[in-house]
Amino acid sequence: MEYCSIDHHKDTGIFLANEKKTKWVTLITLVTMVVEVIVGYWSGSMALLADGWHMASHTLALFLSLIVYYLYRHPTFRKNFTFGGGKILSLGGYTSALFLILIALSMIYESFLHFYEVRVIHYNEALVVAAVGLIVNLVCAFILHQDEEIKTHEHGDHCDHGKNKLSPKNHHHHHHHHDHNHQSAYIHILTDAMTSVLAIFALLLGKWQGLHWADPAVGVLGGIVVLKWSFSLIKQSGMDLLDAHDITIDRENLIKKLERDGSKVVDMHLWKLAPGQVGCEIIIRRNQEQKSSDYRDLIQKSFNIHHLVIEVV
């Protein structure tokens, strides 16, 4: 049996960068949230007030993301877990998505209540603050923005033991990081931006057309969209938490390569250990005198696997 494990250090830099971005966004969001809530109460705008409290809950979720990043890079925390505790990033995203669902349901509930209330709304003041809120959200989104999948060519952690250098010609060598903790923070900010746009739209309709029902109507619409995003994030992060089969590795192609010499793959497990880190355990029935190192070399030439256990029978 041959075992090969992960080196975390090269991956950690990406998550440190995400943590730094999240710190700035949390601070900016906190200040804007306080202003929006105060002006929302004063102006009487349900759309603006909903946006403010919505932003408050996002601020709480962003603080949660910062705690998750702190734990992820803390040596004592990582020592307690077999694979370094990297799944806390997915757990952070999952928990944050639960917050989003509560936010969405409260937005819909409050908006329905206001369909039956006649309120005096200070449109001009509310529009100014809503516009500022939107600008802040766009700035935060820009700070957090990065591709959902970050490609890097630093493959020093592939357990090749100095033998196999990965060829840039093979598309499997692009390293993908799915930081659900960062993704959840990004979705929170995009949700805020969307509710700001809807608030502005509702306030303009009320100011120019006298359509006071537009204010709660966009609250319902915004809540539905947030629910959709939340369920999508829960599905993605939940799959990782439950050790779903990893789809970044071509399973059929891997089996085909291993069985090319007449060997037989008896059992195989492919799962995600952490963002960008794949674990693989294989039991192979050899037909000649192959060693586990032969199979390891074959796998490492074509597949980006960080934790590899091979048992030859």
Cα(155)–Cα(152) distance, integer angstroms:
8
Residue 91, both tokens: 């757990």
Overall CATH class of domain 251-312: alpha beta
Decide: 78 and 8 in contact? Cβ < 8 Å: yes
Residue 163, both tokens: 């033998």
The pTM (predicted TM-score) of the whole model is 0.67
> DSSP letters of 30-98?
HHHHHHHHHHHHHHT-HHHHHHHHHHHHHHHHHHHHHHHHHHHH-HHHHHTSTTTTTTHHHHHHHHHHH
Query: Which CATH number, 2.60.40, 1.20.120, 2.20.110, 1.20.1510, labels domain 8-241?
Result: 1.20.1510
Give yes or no for residue 34 having a pLDDT over 80. Answer: yes
Give yes or no for residue 15 having a pLDDT over 90. Answer: no
Decide: 215 and 121 in contact? Cβ < 8 Å: yes
pLDDT for the residue 254: 92
Domain ranges across the chain:
8-241, 251-312
Tokens 């970050």 sit on residue: 150
pLDDT above 70 as % of the chain = 81
C-beta neighbour count of 17 within 10 angstroms: 13
pLDDT band at 50 (very low <50, low <70, confident <90, very high): low
CB burial readout 70-108, b (16+ within 10 A) else e: ebbeeeeebeeeebbbbbbbbbbbbbbbebbbebbebbb
Cα(87)–Cα(67) distance, integer angstroms:
14
Report which of residues 118 and 232 the model is more confident about: 232
Distances (CA, A) of 149 to 55, 70, 175: 26, 22, 8
Predicted confidence (pLDDT) per residue in 228-258, tens digit: 888 888 998 899 899 888 888 889 999 999 9
pLDDT band at 177 (very low <50, low <70, confident <90, very high): low
Tell me the average pLDDT across 282-303.
88
> Given the DSSP bridges, would you call strands 277-285 and 307-312 parallel, antiparallel or unpaired?
parallel
pLDDT for the residue 266: 94
pLDDT above 90 as % of the chain = 9
Predicted confidence (pLDDT) per residue in 122-171, tens digit: 777 778 877 888 898 888 888 877 544 443 333 334 444 433 333 333 43
Decide: 64 and 181 in contact? Cβ < 8 Å: no
Q: By mean pLDDT, which of 13-27, 116-130, 297-311 is the weakest?
A: 116-130
pLDDT for the residue 8: 46
pLDDT for the residue 159: 44
Average pLDDT, whole number, for the chain? 77
Report which of residues 254 and 22 the model is more confident about: 254
pLDDT band at 186 (very low <50, low <70, confident <90, very high): confident
Helices 123-144 & 9-43 angle (0-180, nearest 10): 180
Cα(118)–Cα(120) distance, integer angstroms:
7
pLDDT for the residue 3: 52
Tell me the average pLDDT across 91-98.
86
Give yes or no for residue 81 having a pLDDT over 60. Answer: yes
pLDDT for the residue 281: 93
pLDDT for the residue 282: 93
Tell me the average pLDDT across 86-102.
86
Tell me the average pLDDT across 205-211.
81
Report which of residues 110 and 270 the model is more confident about: 270
pLDDT band at 274 (very low <50, low <70, confident <90, very high): confident
Give yes or no for residue 285 having a pLDDT over 90. Answer: yes
